[in-house]
Amino acid sequence: MKELSKEILVRAAGGDVSSFESIYKTYSGFVYNVAIRMTSNQHNAEEIAQEVFLTIYRKLKSFSFESSFKTWVYRITVNGAINYLKKISAERHKINQSKNELKQRVGSNQVEKMMNQEYREKIISSMLASLNTDQRICIILRNLKGLSYEEIAKTLKVNINTVRSRLKRARETLLALKKEGDLGEL
Amino acid sequence: MNCKKIQNLLLTDYLDGQLEEEKKKSFDNHLSSCFNCREFASVAQNNIMQPFINAEKFIPSDQIWQRIKKAIEEKPEPVRSGFLTSFWNSLKESFLFPRPAYALAGILLIFVVAMSVNRMSLERQQKTIHESEKEIEYITYLAEATLDVSVDQNGGYGTAIEYYFL
């Protein structure tokens, strides 16, 4: 992901739409992918992305260049996704739904175990759905977005060892589910 | 390192490639000699790391930007930070103290306030004691003054009015 120049950020903060579009083009992939992985729902992800960028636009004036703009955007994205999940209160419902769907699918049709993209996506969705919000966001940022432990810690404003501990617990949960047969095989 | 520690590290730094070269070497040495840990590493790699590799990257639809653009154009200017926010930001920029400095300043402030309150309370106590002593002194004086009024043998007070009536 390329770094945006300070000039673009200042112009966007002054209300220049084309500069803000550059920000959108740079970060929309990250924002949308985190949102879709957090919610497993395209419509929700679109709403989150829209809200995240409007928040960025509104708060650009108060962005002090002391910290990294990238980390600032990451933080707004994560908070936006978490707040959205809280708002719709669908997290638990989604987790249960996803787990049940997967059990039925894996049980009823073994042919689906073939390693294809669609099946892989379903496995990823069910893996993420089985984690709590804190663990899920750590796995998304690490495994899907490739952020370092330090970047995740800065994004979530937590200690680096908290990131380690959340990742460890998340992976223990996934291994336990795998053992119980709640996750399909690749 | 024992197996438990190895497996804990394996689920984080090792799988994520965050181990330093030296640690990784000793880690790999352990794995080559320990079947259980090797098996654990293989299961973890295949089941909790592999599925995320080459995961689909979703592309946001153009409609999202159109909606954002429309919302921006309806309210063209980003919210300007208020006077207090700007003042606070400029203050922060002028005095870029690290967090421990803030904490230390906070502790000192609390200490100074606590000392002043304590001092005020001591002064008040001393004042009260002083006033009480004065009151006791006055009462003693009154009592002594009353006793000094001589009572004569006949039970009279020896005042002029007594002589007038008697």
CB contact under 8 A, A64 and B64: no
Task: Say yes or no for a CB contact (<8 Å) between A57 and B72.
Answer: yes
Tens digits of residue pLDDT in B117-141? 888 888 888 887 788 787 888 777 7
User: Vertex B115, ends B111 and B117: CA angle to 5°?
Assistant: 120
The reported pLDDT for the residue numbered A107 is 47
pLDDT at B143 (0 to 100): 73
Residue B162 has pLDDT above 60, yes or no: no
Q: Who has greater pLDDT, B99 or A133? A: A133
Q: What is the mean pLDDT of each run of 10 residues along chain A (186 residues)?
A: 85 92 96 95 95 95 87 96 84 54 48 65 92 96 96 96 96 91 60
The residue of chain B nearest to residue A126, with distances taken between CA atoms, is B51
Phi-psi domain of B155 (left: phi exceeds 0; alpha: psi -120 through 50; beta: other): left
pLDDT of residue A47: 95
Domain of B25 in residue numbering reads as 3-52
Q: What is the pLDDT of residue B140?
A: 77
Alpha helices in B77-98 (DSSP H): 83-94
pLDDT confidence tier of residue B52, bands split at 50, 70 and 90: very high
Query: Does the structure show a pLDDT above 70 at B103?
Result: yes
Q: B65–A32: do the CB atoms touch at under 8 Å? A: no
Tokens of A102: 């997967």
Q: Identify which of B68, B77, B78 has the shortest CB distance to residue A24.
A: B68
What residue type is A183 in one-letter code?
A: L
Is the same domain home to B106 and B162? yes
User: Best interface-test mutation with B: which of A1, A18, A31, A32 has the largest number of B CBs within 10 A?
Assistant: A32
- Interface residue ranges in chain B relative to chain A, Cβ cutoff 8 Å: 8, 11-13, 15-16, 18, 43-44, 46-52, 54-61, 63-65, 67-69, 71-73, 76-81, 85, 89, 92-93, 96
Q: Which residues from A are below 8 Å from B11, CB to CB? A: 167-168, 171-172
Residue from B4, B6, B12, B59 to probe the interface with A (highest A Cβ count within 10 Å): B12
Q: Shortest CA distance to A24 belongs to which of B64, B70, B81, B57?
A: B64
Contacting residues of B for A46, CB less than 8 Å apart: 60-61, 63-64
Quote the pLDDT of residue B84: 63
> Considering the domain boundaries, does residue B65 fall inside one?
no
Chain A interface mutation, best of B14, B20, B72, B89, highest count of A Cβ atoms under 10 Å: B72
Shortest Cα distance, chain A CAs vs residue B111, angstroms: 29
Same domain flag for B102 and B164: yes
Question: Which residues of chain A make contact with B96, given a CB cutoff of 8 A?
Answer: 66
Average pLDDT for B67-96: 68
CATH number for the A1-89 domain, one of 3.30.43.10, 1.10.1740.10, 3.40.930.10, 3.40.640.10? Answer: 1.10.1740.10
Q: What are the structural domain ranges in chain A?
A: 1-89, 90-186
Q: Please report which confidence band the pLDDT of residue B150 belongs to, taking 50, 70 and 90 as the band edges.
A: very low
Confidence of residue B85 (pLDDT cuts 50, 70, 90): low
Mutate which of B62, B64, B81, B88 to test chain A, going by most A C-beta atoms within 10 A? B64
Return the CATH architecture of domain A90-186: Orthogonal Bundle (1.10)
Backbone Cα Rg of chain A: 18
Other Cβ atoms within 10 Å of B45 Cβ, number: 13
Q: Counting one residue from A and one from B, how many pairs have CB atoms under 8 Å apart? A: 114
Alpha helices (H) in B34-98, listed in sequence order:
35-44, 62-74, 83-94
CA distances from residue B75 to A20, A54, A56, A62, A112 in whole angstroms, order as listed: 14, 11, 14, 17, 49
Q: Is residue B60 part of a domain?
A: no
Q: Using CB atoms, which residue from B49, B51, B68 is nearest to A53?
A: B68
- Token readout for A153 is 């810690």
Number of domains in chain B: 2
d(C-alpha B144, C-alpha B166), whole Å: 29
Instruction: Supply the pLDDT for residue B145.
Output: 66
Among chain A residues, the shortest Cα distance to B77 is held by: A15
Please indicate, yes or no, whether residues B166 and B102 belong to a single structural domain of this protein. Answer: yes
Q: Give whichever of B16-30, B73-87, B119-133 has the largest mean pLDDT.
A: B16-30
Cα(A54)–Cα(B74) distance, integer angstroms:
12
